[in-house]
Amino acid sequence: MNKNTDKKARPVKRYLLLTTGFPPARGGIAEYGYNFVKALDGKITVLTMDGDSSADAAVLYAGLHDFKIIRLGILRVRPPWLRDFIFLMAAVFINCGGRFDKLICAHIQLGGAALFLKNIFALPYILIFHGVEVMMLGKEKINSVVDGAFALISVSQYTRQTLLPHVGCKDVEVIPPMLNEEILAHAAVDFDFKQSIGLAGKRIILTVGRLDLASRHKGHDLVLMALPEVLARHPDAVYVIVGDGDGKKPLQELARSLKLTPHVVFYPFDRAGLHHYYQHCDVFIMPSRKIRASGQYEGFGIVFLEAALFKKPVIAGRSGGVVDAVVDGETGLLVDPCDPADIAKAINRLLDDPTYGNRLGEAGYQRVVTEFSLKALAPKIRRLVEGDAHAL
């Protein structure tokens, strides 16, 4: 008997991703979820709270996946319990046929829905932790969500170590963010870009990140405080900030108070054009720090990988999970994120010595493609997700 004809076809696995955002929505959680499910062999359905299907950014993702994406557009619904209830009802509705084999919960905020689906539909789920949400642990309801998961994932070693005291005997697997290479790496170089934005002949120090007041840990303000010392040595330097949020105005006011306005330029986040800023910057910087009052910190910092993909030297704050993203002295420089003088010293070092910066950028690129690509991390993701949940 022919073994090939006798062999049963392997059933196609069906996975459901629960997330607060999904590309073209912005943010690390959205990008992480997108790349995570790309690694899986099977049919993917995405249920997301966001409603961002804007045509300009969505074009970038057209043809790159065959996921079914259900966008609820409820991120701004208040009160929060109503938003969460709508999300739960939508999740129950699409599960009524018992259609999925496993569920991936991209944020503990959605853990209640994941636990409910497990109890009603016997649907095992994986829970992903990014960073500051670890502060929610210790609450009885949250603990039950953690206990109900068949696997826990952290995006960095720092977050894993923060998690371990709260998860009992459960282990926590570290799966760092994967880089969305097809969105950034294959874009054509626009050699006239700097001239088109009025920065011809300038040396660009770049930060890409949310400007929300809740994201002030990313360190834009400290870079502004460091800039006078940089300009004293490099008067052709310009600090380019790409991002949106309610924290933009305070940063503009700080720049004015420091008399830096001619050397600080703000641009809105535009995924379709983001590669231009990476391609033409001289240094990428985001000196993230931990905010003691709120506990906010950088869980990883995927923007460091994006900059490295373009072989740019990076400067990062020695804080949180960033140390997983940047190897000090090898792929970039780590600084004291609360010390403007240390930040200025690192910027000047890279602007003084472009050859050294190029060496860091090249090493960063090699690390990205070998350690943080889909090809490198997909096997681990598949082993974890496709494992026997009932045996764990």
From first to last of its 392 residues, what are the pLDDT tens digits of the chain? 454 544 455 678 999 999 999 887 878 888 899 989 989 988 999 999 998 655 445 545 555 567 888 999 999 999 999 999 999 999 999 998 768 999 999 999 899 999 999 999 999 999 999 987 776 666 666 788 999 999 999 999 999 988 888 887 788 999 999 986 665 545 667 778 999 999 999 999 999 998 988 778 899 999 999 999 999 999 999 999 999 999 999 999 999 999 999 999 999 988 778 889 999 999 999 999 987 776 778 889 999 999 999 999 999 999 999 999 999 999 999 999 999 999 999 999 999 999 999 999 999 999 999 999 888 999 999 999 987 554 44
pLDDT of residue 184: 53
What does 278-334 look like in DSSP terms, one character per residue? HHH-SEEEE-----TTT----S--HHHHHHHHTT--EEEES-TTHHHH--BTTTEEE
Q: Give the integer Cα–Cα distance in Å for 265 and 314.
A: 19
Q: Give the integer Cα–Cα distance in Å for 28 and 207.
A: 15
pLDDT of residue 169: 78
pTM for this predicted structure: 0.87
CB 108 within 8 Å of CB 154 = no
Structural domains present in the chain: 12-178+373-391 (3.40.50.2000), 182-371 (3.40.50.2000)
The first and second tokens of residue 257, run together, are: 């108070």
CB 18 within 8 Å of CB 91 = yes
What separation in angstroms does the CA of 87 have from each of 31, 40, 136, 377? 20, 24, 20, 30
Q: Give the integer Cα–Cα distance in Å for 75 and 87.
A: 10
Given the structure tokens 């609820």, which residue do they identify? 72
pLDDT of residue 5: 45
pLDDT of residue 240: 98
**Segments in 96-197 forming alpha helices (H):** 111-121, 140-148, 157-163, 181-184, 193-196
